[in-house]
Structure formats: C-alpha cells, structure tokens
Chains A and B, each alone.
Chain A
C-alpha cells in the first residue's frame, strides 16, 4: 500500500467540527469570562457592554450546543458547551431580584396569603374556641380540672384556690423583677415559634397536630378564663391578656391554619397529584408561618418590656385596640400593594396585546 503515501500533495482533511470550534471559540471564551465574573461577584458587577453581550453570547452558545450535539464527534467539546450553557442559564434565568425588595415582597405577601386562607383560619378558630369552651365549663363545674389543663410552671399560683386578692395582684404587679420577665418572654417566643413551626410541618399528618395544638392552647386559656371569671375579674384579665394576646393568639391561629392548609392538600388534592398539592400548600403555608413567627416575636417583645409598665385597665384596652388597628393596617398596605401589582400586570398585558 505504498501508493497511499504518494498522495501527499493533497492537504490533510480537517474535521468539520474543528473549523466549527475555531470560528466560535472566542465568543464562548467571552461568555465564560462574563459568567465567571457573575459567579464570583454578582450580576451588578457587570458593566453595560458586558450586560448587553451576555444574552447574545448565551444564545450563540446554546446554538453551538445544539449544532455540536448533532454534528460533532468530540465529547469534550459537547461537555464543555453543556456546562457553559448550564452556567449561563443559571446566571440569566436563575437570578433573583435584590434581597431588599424580596423582603418587602415578603412583608406584603404574608397578609395577602392569610386573607386567601380564611377557610383554614376559620377552622383553626373553631378548634381554639372549642378548647376554651371545654376547659371553661369543666373547670367551672369542678376546679380539679384546672390541673389537667395548666401545669404548675405556667399557672404560677394563679389557681382556683388562690385568693381573689392575689389573683388581682398577679394582673397588676410583676411577679419578678423586669429583667427576669424579659428572659421569660424570649423563652416563650422561641418556644411558641417552634411549636408553631411544628404545627405547620406536621401538617402532612392530615392537620391533626395542628388541631391538637389549637385545642390545647384553647384549653389553657379557657381554664384561666374560668378562674378569673369566677372571681368577677374577667374584664381586668382581658385587659391584662389582650395587648399581647391579640398578636400571640392570632399567631397561634395562623400556625394552626397553616397546618390545616397542608392537611387539606393531602386529604383533598382536587385536580392535582398529592405531591404537587402538598407543594402548593407548603409554599402558601410557609408564608403564613413566617407571619406567625413575626407576630410571636412582636408579642414577646411587647409582653416582656411593656406589659408590666402599663397597669391601667383603660390604657390596656386602648392598647389592645391599637394592636387590632395595627394588624388591620398591615393587611391594608398589603392589599393596596397587591392591587397596584395587579394593575401594573394588566397594563403590561394590554400594552403587549396592542
């Protein structure tokens, strides 16, 4: 076969993919540099020119990938393009809005989500009210029941056998010094927040833990209601309870509602698959739980630092009203923002259609 070697006058055939790569290599390299810069710092580190080039280069790379997959027999080339396109995809489609605007979005999204979950919230209120009624009526009939519902640590002497005077004192005077109480409040907060999160995340046990949580909290409150009401101290007790109780009880209801949301998704997934339904519900419920944690924290701060400072009944009820107004205000801002977003979206759709 010596003859084959004589044809050396013909130039060596070059694979097409070599030429293909030679033509495009520099633009891949440019994209690689931009992407590396974004990964090291952030999108905002790019200058105008780079920002302008990024999507163009990305489309070129995607194009190259699809051609290379079909025609090139160089695996390293295809692997490179796959990784490059995947990286650029994450940079272009995976980037989020800045964190600060996200937090505002969160602040607004929480009340809007709560408003859309009124059914679950209603169910939660029902269980809570049931707990209150059961404990109240049972303790009224036989004070021994009190110990079933409230443990010693929590009652701190406020039992059916305490004197009316000491009960009244417990409403108007700090049991310990203020610093001790703030520890108690922060302990209460972390504890409450955890229990609330538990109710949410165990929601996929058909919402049963959520129902138990609500019922149990209702029982404790009902037992106290019974004790104070029997001495004619119901109104002062409410004055003591409501300023911090409004955010706190609302948060408990929210946690329960979040749990029910998850439970319902599992029981009645409607037209979705169960995992999908659980996911949809989980996204909604997590927002509600964040709201609840926020309210727990707010209530704890309020309880720890302000409660013992204000001992006047009228002031206390005024504060309670203020709490309700604040909550309503929160819902109102959120509602407004949502309407504004909707209007902007509609406007955009109309202009796109035109």
Chain B
C-alpha cells in the first residue's frame, strides 16, 4: 500500500491529552534542498550588499570620506548575516527559514514543547562548525600551498563526517540537532477526502442486501483497496471496464448472483463498500478484527 512503500521515518509525541501523535521526519534530500535555498538567499543578499557597498564607496570617495568604515561595516554585517540568518528566521517564523517554509519543513523540540532559545542557538552554532568552518579550512589549505595541505584534508574529512552523520542517525539528526535536542519534521497537511460510504446513502432507491456470509469474506485490507478504487473513479483514473472486472471478481468470490455487477458495476461497488464497512465496523465494536481475506475467524 501507499504508506508501506514510502519509507518516511516518523516520531511519536504524547501530548497531555494522552493520544499519541505522529510526525513525519523531514527527509535528508529535502533538508539539503532547503539549506541550498537558504544559502542562495544569503549569497543573493551578499551580492546586493556588495553592490550597495560599491555605490557607497564611490559616493564616499567623492565626498572625501574614508573606505575603512565601509569595509569594517561590510565585514561585520557579513558575519551577522551568516550567523543570524537561520537563528532569526527560526526564532520569528516558529522554526522555519525561507528554505524550510518552501519545502514545508519545520524545526520542533524533541519533547514537543516550545522550541527554546538555547536549542535554537545551539543547533545554529553547530551548523557553522559542520559546514562553513571546515569548508573554509579546505580553502585555506589550498591557498597556503603544499605545507598546509593537511588543513584541507582535516576540513574535508570533518565535512564528510558531519554531512554523513544524519544518514546513520536513526532519526536523521545532524550534530546540531543532537546538541540542541531538535527534530526537523514535515509540516502535516490535513486533507479530508470524500467519504465513499456516504455517497451511496443518498442513492437510497437502489439497495442490495448482502447476507452476513457474503460480508464475512473480505477484510480491512480489501476494504481499503476498494475505497482507493472508488476514489480513482472520482479522479477519472478508472474506467468502466476496470470496474466491471473488479465487481465481477468480487461477485464471484462472495457468490453474489444478481445482475448489478454487469449492469451497473459502480453502483454495485459503492453499495458493497458501504455494506462491507458497516459489517466490519460492527464486528470491530465487539473486538473482532479481520485484517484481510486470508485471516480465518
């Protein structure tokens, strides 16, 4: 089925209400994409700053001012931009940066409580160490020539270690997440689909009464599959021939001998779905679960 084929990891949080809630952890590629996007935004603003700076410098030298203040302003704002970008957005936007928001991600605290200031600081301080500083080290090593090449190797090794770490962590945390105690999750999206058992209830004029024996063959798995088929009809992804094949198969299996599977397969399937669900839910109330058709009793 859909869920088992998609390998998303999730975490469980128990709110005070006592019903466990599930959150999907963000996948590593989507987190990486979000990082790339954020880096892009940072570089773009650096570029704009350079332009502004050049303009200022030209203007300043025209008026006889000195470039030194501008340069020092530049150095400090570059530092602030790189250090505070992630921190600022995660603080103000409830745990998401522009990149994360674009990909529908969000940082939450491990225990489900509000994301603390310390956690934010810790995870963003570590980001610098994980990626920026080792990469700077790599560059420095190459620039300084042969004797300093070992610096590059250390930097490269460190980066690989830091980037590889989430792949091995059971909850794909990076170093900063471990220290800050945070998870990055996918923001849950709630979409209520039409109830396939309800759409038949207004078509009351046509009903089929299935016998209890006919309704004791299939289980929850087959019921859910049928629901998916009926949703496909809504999306115009299943044609009448498919439905005919399915309804004929079902009729054969449950030994139903009316003409509906041939004359109006869609109606038959809808009625069968409603009846089957009613029967299974009725049994569920008595604590009897039938997972699939292979389960006996």
Contact = CB atoms under 8 A, between A and B. Distances in A.
Contacts of A32: 190, 192
A283 B181 contact: yes
Interface size, A (range): 35 or more
Interface in B191-238: 191-193, 195-198, 200-201, 204, 207-211, 220, 223-224, 227, 231
B71 A283 contact: no
B54 to A, nearest CB: 17
Interface in A186-221: 186-187, 189-190, 193-194, 197-198, 200-202
Given A109-B117, A182-B72, A80 B179 contact: no
A73 B241 CA distance: 27
B144 interface: no
A287 B118 contact: yes
Contacts of A282: 122, 126, 179-180
A177 B115 contact: no
A71 B286 CA distance: 10
Contacts of B108: 90, 94
A346 to B, nearest CB: 22
A343 interface: no
Interface in A68-102: 70-77, 80, 82-87, 89-90, 93-97, 99, 102
Contacts of A190: 75-76, 78-79
B13 A77 contact: no
Label chain A's interface by main secondary structure. helix
B232 to A, nearest CB: 13
Nearest to A42: B94
Given A8-B209, A85-B21, A89-B112, A183 B71 contact: yes
Nearest to A5: B258
B192 A4 contact: no
B114 A93 contact: yes
Interface in B138-182: 178-181
A16 B282 CA distance: 8
Nearest to B113: A93
Determine which residue in B122, B190, B200 has the highest number of CB atoms from chain A within 10 A of its CB, and name it: B190
B249 interface: no
A70 B119 CA distance: 37
A235 to B, nearest CB: 30
A140 to B, nearest CB: 31
13 contacts: A12-B201, A13-B275, A17-B197, A73-B277, A85-B19, A93-B112, A94-B114, A102-B91, A187-B75, A279-B178, A279-B181, A283-B119, A289-B125
Interface of B: 13, 15, 17, 19, 21-23, 66-69, 71-73, 75-76, 78-79, 83, 91-92, 94-95, 106, 108-109, 112-119, 121-122, 125-126, 128-129, 133, 178-181, 187-193, 195-198, 200-201, 204, 207-211, 220, 223-224, 227, 231, 255-258, 271, 274-275, 277-282, 284-285
Interface of A: 1-2, 4-5, 7-8, 10-18, 21-22, 25, 28-29, 32, 39, 42, 59, 62, 65-66, 70-77, 80, 82-87, 89-90, 93-97, 99, 102, 105-106, 109, 177-183, 185-187, 189-190, 193-194, 197-198, 200-202, 275, 278-279, 282-287, 289-290, 293, 297, 304
